[in-house]
Structure 1
Amino acid sequence: MSRIAVGTADFKRTNRAMFFGGFSCFALLYCVQPLMPLLAHEFVLTPAQSSLSLSISTGALALSLLVSSVVSDRFGRKPIMVAAMAIAALMTLACAFADGYPQLLAMRALLGLALGGMPAVAMAYLGEEIEPASLGLSMGLYISGSAFGGMFGRVLASTLSDFLSWRVAMAVIGIAGVLAAAEFWRSLPASRHFRRGPGGLRALAGGLRRHFGDAGLPWLFALAFLLMGCFVSAYNYIGYRLLGTPYGLRQSVVGGISFLYLLGIFSSVWAGKLADRLGRRGVLWLVMSVMAAGLALTLSHALPLIVLGMALFTFGFFASHSVTSSWVGRRARPPQALASALYLFFYYLGSSVVGWLCGHLWAWAGWNGVVLLLGTLLGGALLIARRLRSLMPLDPAASLAAAT
């Protein structure tokens, strides 16, 4: 049975569903990011403590990814993804009624555990069902949904919390997540190329050996940790900077910086197409350099230059993520869901660990301290990208772009 190709009805249905899936995952996960200063004020927290509302979710998500990949190899892709989206949406709705910060953290941890059944399984589904020549485009469209969800969740949370309350914001976003799960279930075609695999710890251990024994996948996993850690940390603390002196912006205005995610919607699709055509090596180096240049520009004290820097940083991140995630999908061998899960395990682990560390650097040296750490990590990521330029394709007979 042929795989899903560009221009077909199933391709449109798949990408519509995956857009809603990426939208829901990022909106539910990151809607608390602009609320951190408000949570710190209401519950009397330090910036590092308030960042736990996000870090505990991404940490739980990272841990659950490995389990969910093995479960989906046994029970199928679509049922696991639908359940993950629905449970995470209900947990977000429940957060609106939290009695205290510990209870809020507990529900955010459960949200992260539930969402483990979405991103890696989605990457595996696309790798199995979409024809290889169209995978970069399809992955880019999924990531563009993630970018839109991240923007929507942040902007809506900022606006509603500014004029109503953070609890109303969480409730509204939870309801939006329920609707997105329903549309995902309605639109996504059933798997046609899924083959039930073995479950259990033995299958997990064998898959780990296979993927970590690959010459390229461990480096792509490391890139996931570094890139996502940098991206989330920058958005975690830019709000503190712009709310404070000398800028003193309103909560809703600071949340509006998330409109820059619209650049990610464009750059993820653009980079996916470019990588399909030219190969991932050179494209990855280019877009990561844009990300680093944007970070450096945020050191300016002029607000327009800070916004421009965040724009370049956002553009470069989503383009980089599109290239690296599709590279994993092209390079991975069975069990593919585990390879996707490992990529995203390090992706969300970077968000949790680096985001927490930057809270302490913010307390020590403000934005300059945050940029010092993030710049160092991006420098390491560029060195890895340089190393990947010499990575041999899996199939020597294939062209460079098609093989990797």
Structure 2
Amino acid sequence: MGATYSPSTPAATASPSSMSTCRWTSSPRSRSGDASWRASPPSTASTRRPSTSSTPMPGGRAKPGSSWSGWATSGTWTSPFRRGFTWPCSCPRSGSSSSRRRRSNSMPSCPNSPMCSGGWSRPSVASSMWSACGMSPPPSRKAGSRGRGSGLGAYPADWTIVQRPDCKPTYTPRGTSRYYRILLATFLSGLSVFAQLYLFQPILAELAADFAIPQSASSLAVSLATVGMALGLFAFVFRADILPRRRLMLLSLGLSAILTLLTPLAHSFGLLLLLSLLKGVALSGVSAVALAYLTEEVQPAIIGGAIAVYLTGNNVGGMLGRVVSSLLANQAGWRVGTLTIGAWSVAVAFIFLLIFPPSRNFTPSRIPDSLRLARMRLYLRTPYFTALYAIGFLFMGVFVSVYNYISFRLATPPYGLPERAISLLFLMYLFGTVSSLLFGRLSDRFSPRALLIVALSLLLLGVLLMGLGPLPLVLLGLAAATFAFFASHTIASRMVSTRAGAGRSSASCLYWLFYYIGSSAVGYLTGLAYFAHGWAHFLAANAVLLAVGILLAIRYLGRGHEPGEDFAVPGG
């Protein structure tokens, strides 16, 4: 089917009071199946004939087989597959359609639309977008017609989406109900993820006794969960920019909660490890897209505070999961504690379903896996991102290592603390909650690089204090290390997500991948050092790792290595 395009006002002179009209009407399909169009400005008229590239229709749609340039600013469009219905559209002025094509359900763009060219998965979201244009949603396409999807946003099978070059996303400002729903939902998602991921950390001794395994092997219950998280994140490097953010996070929370509920039924340590591995894979869906969602939806000026709220949920969840599992394990056994956390995670998933708003600015990026691999290679070859990935690997490994084995240290002479008192050590996570919020706000005002170096230095100081001997100094060092770890994580994750460009989901997934590999590898290997050589050698190994992280931050995160606004990402 061909189409005719007739702008009444040139793009350069369009204004709100004198909007150009781009009206598309049906015409018989040419024998070649190509589309043609005619531009008719007031003074001149030109005819474009089919060529080998693609011609975008108003609203960001493209028909294979034609070329284009010089489009009007906005106007109306008559649907080729719902003849006679006209709605507002915004046409790109110029650009390369081949670099902007996207396959996605999308409404025609309008100047006030919350999303210029991205798709959606729920009719209610589409309706809100049409409302922003001041119009009612168009009727659904005819039953049985060719194309993808149904209802709002359906389109013929041979159409693709073209991203408007002048598209500006509509961010959610502070103070709106949607903003607070985003914060609460992401807070709860982080809380659920970390409560489930590390619930075994304070009860490793109970697991070793129950399954009759060596104490050094008991840490695999934590390490395998983080290995699963790393594996899932690696898979999401290729799919995170395609899958709807809300649907993926909801599926992740629900499936992980079910696996946690099944864990108390494990009759062997091997089965428990398998469930922990699968649970980590399921939980990776939240970590894969949560930061990307916040970066896309929240105003850039306040993104640091929003990320801090999400990471605060991680902190609180990690604290509650450890404290609850430890206290209940002392009273009724580890199986009751695990069952309680699983039931609570189901409740969190249900609340998330009710309050979490769908994306407005997310555009599915259906690009070949080869292009995603190219993005990964770019990030891994860029010293700035490589340094951040290595730093995340190091500080996460050290932090998990300390909390894995400090309970063994404090349960033995000269301290000999009871299990109930040791379980309360995880209340130290409250310091992490404070540091996430504090450093998140500070990162909106001061250099993130300087803040990261300060946080890593404080983490090193805390590790050294734990080796001095007296219990008050050990506890002070643990509090300082906890405060500094969450500050470091808040800053590093922000630096990755805000500098990654079009592939921010892939970049964030790589960050989380290194983060959890560090948790698994360092958390396990330093345990071998502890049981073989003692607490002093254990702390010395961790201190060396942190010193390397500080040197990386000083050397590779400065102005000479920081990606600029023109940082080019393949397919971006």
Q: 2:424 aligns with which of 247, 256, 259?
A: 256
Alignment of 1:283-298 (within 5 A): 283-298=451-466
Q: 1:147 aligns with which of 309, 315, 319?
A: 315
The answer to whether the 8 Å contact 1:215/1:391 transfers is no
Which residue is 2:338 aligned to? 170
Alignment of 1:163-312 (within 5 A): 163-198=331-366, 201-312=369-480
Cα deviation digits, residues 37-66 of structure 1 (max 9, x gap): 111112122232101001011011101102
Q: 2:564 aligns with which of 390, 395, 398?
A: 395
Which residue is 1:401 aligned to? none
Which residue is 1:359 aligned to? 527
Alignment of 1:105-144 (within 5 A): 105-144=273-312
Cα deviation digits, residues 175-199 of structure 1 (max 9, x gap): 1111111122222110011111125
Task: Number of aligned residue pairs: give it.
Answer: 397
- Mapped partners of 1:179, 1:389: distance in 2: 44
Q: How far is the alpha carbon of 1:290 from its aligned partner?
A: 1.0
Highest CA radius of gyration, 1 or 2?
A: 2
The answer to whether the 8 Å contact 1:285/1:382 transfers is yes
Cα deviation digits, residues 212-232 of structure 1 (max 9, x gap): 233411111111100100010
The answer to whether the 8 Å contact 2:237/2:372 transfers is no
Cα deviation digits, residues 100-125 of structure 1 (max 9, x gap): 10110010011011111111210111
- Mapped partners of 1:391, 1:270: distance in 2: 27
Q: How far is the alpha carbon of 1:200 from its aligned partner?
A: 5.3
The answer to whether the 8 Å contact 2:240/2:288 transfers is no
The answer to whether the 8 Å contact 2:189/2:348 transfers is yes
Q: How far is the alpha carbon of 1:279 from its aligned partner?
A: 1.6
Q: How far is the alpha carbon of 1:87 from its aligned partner?
A: 1.1
The answer to whether the 8 Å contact 2:384/2:562 transfers is no
Q: How far is the alpha carbon of 1:75 from its aligned partner?
A: 2.2
Cα deviation digits, residues 366-389 of structure 1 (max 9, x gap): 221221111010000110111113
- Mapped partners of 2:371, 2:197: distance in 1: 29
What's the Cα RMSD here? 1.4
Corresponding residue SS for 1:195 = coil
Which residue is 2:246 aligned to? 78
The answer to whether the 8 Å contact 2:199/2:321 transfers is yes
- Mapped partners of 2:516, 2:562: distance in 1: 27
The answer to whether the 8 Å contact 1:92/1:170 transfers is yes
- Mapped partners of 1:391, 1:157: distance in 2: 47
Cα deviation digits, residues 138-188 of structure 1 (max 9, x gap): 111111100000000000011000111000000001111111111222221
Alignment of 1:24-63 (within 5 A): 24-63=192-231
- Mapped partners of 2:440, 2:482: distance in 1: 16
* Structure 1: gaps of 5 or more residues: 398-404
Residue range with higher mean Cα deviation, 386-395 or 251-260: 386-395
- Mapped partners of 1:134, 1:82: distance in 2: 25
The answer to whether the 8 Å contact 2:498/2:504 transfers is no
- Mapped partners of 1:165, 1:125: distance in 2: 38
- Mapped partners of 1:172, 1:181: distance in 2: 15
Q: 1:347 aligns with which of 497, 515, 526?
A: 515
The answer to whether the 8 Å contact 2:327/2:423 transfers is yes
Residue range with higher mean Cα deviation, 343-352 or 286-295: 286-295
Cα deviation digits, residues 225-251 of structure 1 (max 9, x gap): 001000100000001111122222222
Compared CA separation, residues 38 and 143, structure 1 to 2 (3 A): same
Residue range with higher mean Cα deviation, 267-276 or 381-390: 381-390
Identity %: 36
Q: How far is the alpha carbon of 1:69 from its aligned partner?
A: 4.0
Q: How far is the alpha carbon of 1:286 from its aligned partner?
A: 1.0
The answer to whether the 8 Å contact 2:237/2:510 transfers is no
Q: Which structure shows the bigger proportion of residues in helix conformation?
A: 1
- Mapped partners of 1:293, 1:242: distance in 2: 20
Q: Which structure shows the bigger proportion of residues in strand conformation?
A: 2
Cα deviation digits, residues 324-374 of structure 1 (max 9, x gap): 000111101222111110000000000000011012111112221221111
Compared CA separation, residues 60 and 34, structure 1 to 2 (3 A): same
The answer to whether the 8 Å contact 2:456/2:488 transfers is yes
Which amino acid in structure 2 is aligned with residue 100 of structure 1?
S
Which residue is 1:8 aligned to? 176
* Structure 2: gaps of 5 or more residues: 1-113, 115-169, 567-572
- Mapped partners of 2:484, 2:427: distance in 1: 15
Q: How far is the alpha carbon of 1:91 from its aligned partner?
A: 1.0
Which residue is 1:384 aligned to? 552
The answer to whether the 8 Å contact 1:225/1:351 transfers is yes
- Mapped partners of 1:304, 1:84: distance in 2: 40
Q: TM-score, normalised by structure 1?
A: 0.95
Q: How far is the alpha carbon of 1:390 from its aligned partner?
A: 4.0
Q: 1:313 aligns with which of 475, 481, 495?
A: 481
Which amino acid in structure 1 is aligned with residue 563 of structure 2?
L
Which amino acid in structure 2 is aligned with residue 248 of structure 1?
G
Matched, 1:22 2:190: yes
The answer to whether the 8 Å contact 2:240/2:506 transfers is no
Which amino acid in structure 1 is aligned with residue 480 of structure 2?
L
Which residue is 2:270 aligned to? 102
- Mapped partners of 1:392, 1:353: distance in 2: 28
Matched, 1:160 2:325: no
Which amino acid in structure 1 is aligned with residue 321 of structure 2?
G
